[in-house]
Chains A and B, each alone.
Chain A
Amino acid sequence: MGQKINPLGFRLGVTQNHHSYWFAQPKNYSKLLQEDQKMRNCIENYVYKNIRNSSNYGGIARIEIKRKTDLIQVEIHTGFPALLVENRKRGIEQLKTDVQSILTSGDRKLRMTLTEVTKPYGEPNILAEYIALQLESRVAFRRTMKKAIELAKKTNIKGIKIQIAGRLNGAEIARVEWAREGRVPLQTLRAKIDYCYYPAQTIYGVLGIKIWIFQDEK
């Protein structure tokens, strides 16, 4: 046996799309890449600080960044758009100014849009956040895994696998536990598999949550 390749990277040309769409000359590439990373961190931090409390969770599925010559389009795919816009348009304006302040070499317009994801629990990112929230409030992990699988099964997916690693239930010795439902063919390129890794910070340390969701096969 060996290590498993990240299923997103494995399928990039085939059934997986990129999250950023822009072209850059080699000398500008690293600068734009760093900007992209900063923008994504900024958005996630904002959501984490302002919106995530014990009952809600941020619910960002993916952030798409498209750059044209003088326009940057940021599309935030979120499962619960109401959470982000609860302050009646002031919420996203604040986010927009935050992100704009990060962009060096200004005079580029920034356009931010929210896209709603139908069936939020079919996205591994949102599911992982849900599990992390439960684990941080010290719910038994096996129950959390089963509940998460049930939530995902309501949307039409063909398979799901959840793996949690670390000090489960506060044990001294860390271990890895996983639960699977349906089939998750990681070796099949034409299988559309979404993957996410999310760390959950508990009082005992960090629990790593990995989720594979098998959507469908072309």
Chain B
Amino acid sequence: MASTAILAPASAASVVALPSAIASSASSSRATIFKVSPSAAHLSTFEGLRADGFPSSSLNEVWQTSAQTWSTPRHSRLTVRAAVASEAPTATKQKIRIKLRSYWVNLIEQACQQILEAARNSDAKTMGPVPLPTKKRVYCVLRSPHVNKDSREHFEIRTHRRLIDLENPNAQTIDALMQLDLPAGVDVEVKLS
């Protein structure tokens, strides 16, 4: 069933895909009112099938417009569903997700630039380096070798993280990435999906 993901900003593909699912489910379960599901249908009917489905309206507005949606006759909803279905993505895309981790900011930035250069030279679509929140591990230790419990010192380890997505990689991209020599001190995790 559609979950809370709908109210959150979604990428173009998912918003387009969801209304078709929601419209079908909404038509099936008319009696129960789902707090979240009508909003997607609301988007498709009232915002003219725009690809970016940002539900900027507040929850109250969504309730009011959802009430309107429920009362619209069945055939308009079916037309919505048909129109939306044609915009569904045609081919499945292959994505490479690269996750970089490091304790040093300049090293991780350097590594990002290297990866992006290699990817752009071989014509792959890149989703630029997304900085994920820095993780901090804090250690509190006693300063003294013996007694003096009240006097301590904090040390922390900061892990900086970056995310890079490459879409539709060709063999050239993968070759370039394999040959890359990233600086030591940067941990790379690659996932293919």
| Interface, chain A (partner B; CB < 8 A) | 18, 21-26, 66-68, 73
Q: Which residues of A contact B137 (CB under 8 A)?
A: 26
- For residue B42, CB closer than 8 A to chain A, the reply is no
The CB with the most chain B CB atoms within 10 A, among A22, A23, A25, A73, is that of A23
With a cutoff of 8 Å between Cβ atoms, the chain B residues found around residue A24 in the complex are 187
B186 at the A interface (CB under 8 A): yes
Report if B185 contacts A (CB, 8 A).
yes
**Interface locus among B13-21, B27-35, B47-55, B101-109:** B101-109
B184: interface (CB < 8 Å): yes
A23 CB contacts on chain B under 8 angstroms: 101-103, 185-187
A-contact 0/1 string along B136-163, CB 8 Å cutoff: 0100000000000000000000000000
With a cutoff of 8 Å between Cβ atoms, the chain A residues found around residue B182 in the complex are 68
Which A-chain residue is minimally distant from B158 (CB atoms)? A13
- In angstroms, Cα B12 to Cα A52, docked, is 69
- Contact partner of A66 (CB less than 8 A), chosen from B103, B185, B187, is B185
- Nearest-CB distance from A26 to chain B (Å)? 7
Interface of A is mostly: loop
For this complex, into which size category does the number of interface residues on chain B fall? 10 to 19
B-side residues, CB < 8 A to A, are 101-104, 107, 137, 182-187
18 A-B contacts, Cβ less than 8 Å apart?
A18-B104, A21-B104, A21-B183, A21-B184, A21-B185, A22-B185, A23-B101, A23-B102, A23-B185, A23-B186, A23-B187, A24-B187, A25-B187, A66-B184, A66-B185, A67-B184, A67-B185, A73-B184
CB distance from B126 to the nearest CB of A (A): 23
CA distance A73 to B187 in the complex (A): 16
Chain A residues positioned under 8 Å from B103 (CB to CB): 23
Looking at B137, B184, B187, the one whose CB has the most chain A CB atoms below 10 A away is B184
Cα(A24)–Cα(B187), bound, Å: 8
Which among A22, A26, A66, A67 has the highest number of chain B CB atoms within 10 Å? A22
Provide the residues of chain B in CB contact with A67, threshold 8 Å: 184-185
> Which 6 A/B pairs are nearest by Cβ-Cβ distance?
A66-B184, A21-B185, A23-B187, A68-B184, A21-B184, A23-B102
Please, which residue of chain A has its CB at the minimum distance from the CB of B108? Answer: A23
CB distance from A10 to the nearest CB of B (A): 12
With a 10 A CB-CB cut-off, give which of A66, A67, A68, A73 has the most chain B CB atoms.
A68
With the chains together, A187 CA to B101 CA distance in Å? Answer: 32
Distance of A25 Cα from B101 Cα, bound (Å): 10
Residues on B with beta carbons closer than 8 Å to the beta carbon of A21: 104, 107, 183-185
Alpha-carbon distance between A66 and B107 when the two chains are bound, in angstroms: 12
Residues of B within 8 A of A26 (CB): 137
Q: Which residue of A lies closest to B181 (CB)?
A: A68
State how many angstroms separate the Cβ of A16 from the closest Cβ of chain B: 13
Shortest Cβ distance from B100 into A: residue:
A23
B185 cross-chain contacts in A, Cβ below 8 A: 21-23, 66-67
Chain A residues, CB < 8 A from B186: 23
CA distance A24 to B103 in the complex (A): 10
Q: B38 to nearest A CB, angstroms?
A: 44
